[in-house]
């Protein structure tokens, strides 16, 4: 378990294409103390926190004043897995680059930069004390008391995906989650592009599900890559709590909207949790 507050050990940079904008985006990661994870766009500092989430359609977007940054969830998951609690992320566009569609390249960049530990040991973990649940239609996600982060996820799409389940009881070491890519159904792409989105999408950064099979020439990286990726999104969204959550998560067809709503419900009553 992470024992102290941490930041990146040195400045480093990453670049890539924005999934929806199609534009080149450059990131610069700077060590920081007592800040949490903060994005800096056009001079505006935007905390990567659940209470700054402004939009959850297709990705998680945070905003403050005149600035906003979208598609932060994969990078937030990489910070979680790397054990980084504080960092300033300077970005020259309104969208975090998609890279390969997973969190792996972000994690590699952070890992190469290394972590610097502070002496401060408080304010790292949030322990769930009472069950919390949110629903929307037939989708739901609940959080129960537990001594580690334990996630059970169910997704359901048309065939050939169908119903998929996975439980991860040792999340901090579940590195197959890090390397699982975002996905979409072939028939959804045209509508998304008509809306002016997914300009940077390709088979290099997303899994595309055709009528009968996965269209990507190399197929899936893992048999359960799709449910893995939904767990990755959930981890990234949960880390916008500002803490490493200790609790059992049970989720059915959840997405960014419900993930954010869960945190709002959690923080609505201080009796639901304890920070240490």
Distances (CA, A) of 83 to 143, 191, 243: 22, 38, 11
The total of other beta-carbon atoms located within 10 Å of residue 26's CB is 13
Burial of 74 (0-12, 13-18, 19+ CB in 10 A): buried
Distances (CA, A) of 94 to 3, 18, 20, 27, 51: 33, 9, 10, 11, 18
As a whole number of angstroms, the distance between CA 69 and CA 61 comes to 6
Q: For this structure, is 256 an active site residue?
A: yes
| CA 263-165-228 angle, 5° bins | 65
As a whole number of angstroms, the distance between CA 145 and CA 4 comes to 22
**Known catalytic residues?**
256
């Amino acid at each position: 378990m992470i024992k102290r507050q941490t930041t990146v050990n040195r400045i480093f940079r990453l670049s890539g294409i924005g999934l929806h904008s199609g534009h080149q985006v450059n990131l610069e990661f700077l060590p920081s103390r007592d800040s949490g994870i903060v994005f800096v766009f056009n001079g505006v500092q935007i905390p990567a926190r659940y209470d700054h989430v402004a939009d959850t359609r297709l990705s998680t977007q945070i905003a403050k004043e005149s600035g906003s940054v979208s598609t932060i969830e994969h990078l937030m998951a990489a910070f979680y897995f790397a054990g980084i609690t504080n960092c300033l992320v300077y970005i020259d566009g309104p969208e975090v680059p998609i890279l390969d569609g997973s969190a792996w390249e972000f994690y590699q960049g952070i890992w190469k930069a290394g972590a610097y530990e502070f002496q401060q040991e408080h304010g790292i973990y949030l322990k769930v004390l009472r069950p919390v649940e949110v629903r929307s239609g037939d989708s739901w996600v609940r959080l129960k008391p537990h001594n580690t982060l334990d996630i059970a996820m169910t997704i359901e799409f048309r065939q050939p995906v169908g119903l998929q389940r996975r439980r991860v009881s040792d999340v901090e070491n579940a590195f197959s989650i890090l390397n699982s890519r975002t996905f979409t159904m072939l028939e959804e792409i045209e509508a998304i592009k008509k809306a002016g989105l997914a300009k940077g999408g390709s088979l290099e950064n997303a899994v595309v599900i055709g009528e009968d099979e996965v269209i990507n020439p190399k197929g899936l990286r893992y048999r359960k890559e799709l449910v893995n990726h939904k767990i990755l999104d959930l981890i990234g969204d949960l880390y916008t709590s500002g803490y490493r959550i200790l609790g059992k998560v049970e989720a059915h067809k959840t997405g960014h909207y419900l993930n954010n709503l869960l945190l709002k419900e959690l923080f609505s009553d201080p009796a639901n949790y304890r920070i240490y």
